[in-house]
């Protein structure tokens, strides 16, 4: 029987709450005898900062490198609002993604039949919605140098973030998107802003070339990221696989989340390159953050976290049937009426300060 080493990093806020919900499923999975899962738990984010003075201890990073897959809850919260930028909880997660070279972030936005009423849009616009957002995760403006705030002569400040993409970075994310599309409807939309950004010009050029050379049988459409945001709200079912950069992917996937009913519904996989032995590093986490506004109130929706475990079974362990069964169980639970507050109402998330 195959044996897998899982590292659990519950993190902060509702992270540990949704991780606990996921662990119930993991325990049930262990009992099926499908595979052996060896689990280890560690700290990341604010809780790691409190315990070790760093949001990602070197020992934790090593454990992450040794694991077959990582399951992470969420990091951050108001408690750490005042800490130095380099030490903020999110820096721990960014370092983890960067050190493991987890460049491909897969964010499926699926509208479950029972939740069509909970969507921010009308039922006919979202019923049957199944979009796979492929977000580049280790490049772009979140990592580009220089990245700084300098004080000018008159005492005012100047802030700089730099968007950087190389051919190789765009090529590898394009391959992930087209490979996924080949197993789905065969359609890829690539979102950038080549009209105002040089990185957009290169993005469009490279995606076009990868398509022509390797995936000419698939359909490729280029779309400006702002138009894409509008189209996601206007007619979301036109999209199947949507590939985009780090920043646009962050924003577009939050829009997609609201189409499904709640941020609490969206799982994600962050994948590295496949190595010579056929293995790839991978981290699975809900798209949502630590939701401090509802933390500790037993209100958190664990579906994004449970869905992240399903993605782990599918993409890291090749247990597609088990992943299908788990996704089916989520569908059934929702059809049976299981609801957390964020998906209980109509329209939009009824809880939370920003709802």
Q: What positions carry a catalytic annotation?
A: 142, 193, 226, 250, 254
CA distance 280 to 332: 31
For the chain, give the number of residues: 355
The residue (of 40 and 298) whose beta carbon lies closer to ligand ATP is 298
The residue (of 298 and 332) whose beta carbon lies closer to ligand ATP is 298
Any binding-site annotation on 217?
A: no
Any binding-site annotation on 301?
A: yes
**Contact of 224 with 304, CB cutoff 8 Å:** no
**Contact of 173 with 206, CB cutoff 8 Å:** no
Residue 30 CB, nearest approach to ligand ATP (Å):
24
Any binding-site annotation on 112?
A: no
The residue (of 121 and 300) whose beta carbon lies closer to ligand ATP is 300
Query: Could you tell me the strand order of the sheet in which 280-284 lies?
Result: 36-41, 3-11, 69-74, 280-284, 269-274, 104-110, 130-136, 241-244, 187-192, 219-224
**Contact of 190 with 222, CB cutoff 8 Å:** yes
Interface residues with ligand ATP (CB under 6 A) are 14, 18, 76, 262-264, 288-291, 293-294, 300-301, 304, 340, 342, 349, 352-355
Any binding-site annotation on 295?
A: yes
Any binding-site annotation on 300?
A: yes
Residue 280 CB, nearest approach to ligand ATP (Å):
24
The residue (of 139 and 267) whose beta carbon lies closer to ligand ATP is 267
Any binding-site annotation on 78?
A: yes
Return the H-helix or E-strand segment holding 135. strand 130-136
The residue (of 94 and 304) whose beta carbon lies closer to ligand ATP is 304
Q: Contacts by 201-207 with C-beta closer than 8 Å and gap 24+?
A: 202/165, 202/167, 202/170, 203/165, 203/170, 203/245, 206/167, 206/170, 206/171, 206/174, 207/170, 207/174, 207/243
* Residues whose CB is less than 8 angstroms from the CB of residue 218 and which lie 6 or more positions away in sequence, other chains included: 178, 181, 182, 186, 187, 188, 211
Pairing of strands 187-192, 219-224: parallel
Binding residues for Mg(2+): 226, 250, 254
């Amino acid at each position: 029987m195959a044996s897998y080493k899982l590292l659990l990093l519950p993190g902060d806020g509702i992270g540990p709450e949704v991780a606990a919900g996921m662990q119930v499923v993991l325990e049930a999975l262990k009992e099926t005898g499908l595979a052996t899962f060896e689990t280890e738990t560690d700290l990341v984010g604010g809780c790691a900062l409190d315990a070790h003075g760093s949001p990602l201890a070197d020992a934790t990073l090593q454990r992450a490198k040794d694991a077959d897959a990582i399951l992470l809850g969420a990091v951050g919260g108001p408690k750490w609002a005042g800490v130095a930028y380099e030490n903020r909880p999110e820096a721990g997660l960014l370092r983890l993604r960067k050190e493991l070279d987890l460049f491909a972030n897969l964010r499926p936005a699926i509208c479950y039949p029972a939740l069509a009423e909970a969507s921010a849009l009308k039922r006919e616009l979202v019923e049957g919605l199944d979009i796979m957002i492929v977000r580049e995760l280790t490049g772009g403006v979140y990592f580009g140098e220089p990245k700084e705030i300098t004080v000018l002569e008159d005492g005012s400040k100047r802030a700089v973030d730099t968007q950087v993409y190389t051919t190789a970075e765009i090529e590898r994310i394009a391959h992930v998107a087209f490979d996924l599309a080949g197993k789905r409807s065969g359609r890829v939309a690539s979102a950038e802003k080549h009209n105002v950004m040089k990185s957009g010009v290169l993005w469009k050029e490279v995606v076009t070339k990868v398509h022509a050379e390797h995936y000419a049988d698939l359909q490729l459409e280029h779309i400006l990221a702002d138009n894409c945001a509008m189209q996601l709200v206007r007619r979301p079912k036109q999209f199947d696989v949507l590939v985009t950069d780090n920043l646009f992917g962050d924003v577009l996937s939050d829009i997609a989340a609201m189409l499904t009913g709640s941020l609490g519904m969206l799982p994600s996989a962050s994948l590295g390159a496949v190595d010579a032995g056929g293995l790839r590093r991978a981290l699975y986490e809900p798209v949502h953050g630590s939701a401090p506004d509802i933390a500790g109130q037993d209100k958190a929706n664990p579906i994004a976290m449970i869905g992240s475990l399903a993605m782990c079974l599918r993409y890291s362990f090749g247990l597609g049937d088990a992943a299908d069964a788990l996704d089916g169980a989520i569908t059934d639970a929702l059809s049976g009426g299981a609801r957390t507050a964020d998906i209980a109402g109509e329209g939009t998330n009824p809880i939370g300060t920003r709802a």
